[in-house]
Amino acid sequence: MSLHPQILHNLVAVLNRLPSSAAAADKKAEADRKKAEKAALLAEEDASLPAKKTGNAKTAPKKSRGLDLSGLDGPSSLSSLSATGIDNALDALSLTAGTSDKIDRHPERRFKAAYTQYEERRLEEMKDEKGLRRQQKIEQIRKEFEKHPDNPFNQVNATYNSTREDLQTIRESEKSKIEKRLGGS
């Protein structure tokens, strides 16, 4: 029986791809060794973990919703602060950073620019609202701006002739307000 040369070539290629029995045994031994090594590592890891409670009591671990700042360098009086939200998290980080923020000594200089910027933004937002004349909208915006955080008078400020000690006491009082708000000690 003679085979076509092309078929014979394909058959030889297939046979060459088949693993020999010695290579198969080596592969199997390697896989068994890796499996045993993995099992040993898992057993070692389980032994290092604390023992679990036995029983049917299923309790979910409590998740801390606060920012644990105990590992950060900073004042040791801070144990943990509960900061939910971006603004509170930034305030918590500012407490630990120890940076001395600038205290505005002349908020009246920035009031007009801040108000016009706020007014333009709010008028654009209120453009679609019907029922109020432009002057009524402006009066409403003025009342909102009096309590808004963008108002320079609502930010931390000091008189123009404040001493360094006055500025330090203002910084400390602001820091204590933030700590009290975030639940620090």
pTM, to two decimals: 0.38
Is 143 within a domain?
yes
Q: Provide the residue range defining the domain that includes 181.
A: 75-103+163-185
Per-residue pLDDT of the chain (185 residues), as tens digits, is 566 777 767 777 776 776 667 777 788 889 999 999 898 888 888 888 776 655 555 666 666 666 555 555 555 454 566 777 777 777 777 666 666 566 666 777 888 899 999 999 999 998 888 888 999 999 999 999 999 888 877 776 666 677 778 777 877 877 787 777 777 54
Euclidean distance between CA atoms 86 and 92, whole angstroms: 10
Please report whether residue 59 resides in a domain: no
Structure tokens at 88: 């509170």
Count other C-beta atoms under 10 Å from residue 118's C-beta. Answer: 17
Q: Which candidate, 150, 137, 138, 147, places its Cα nearest to that of 111?
A: 150
149, 175: one domain: no
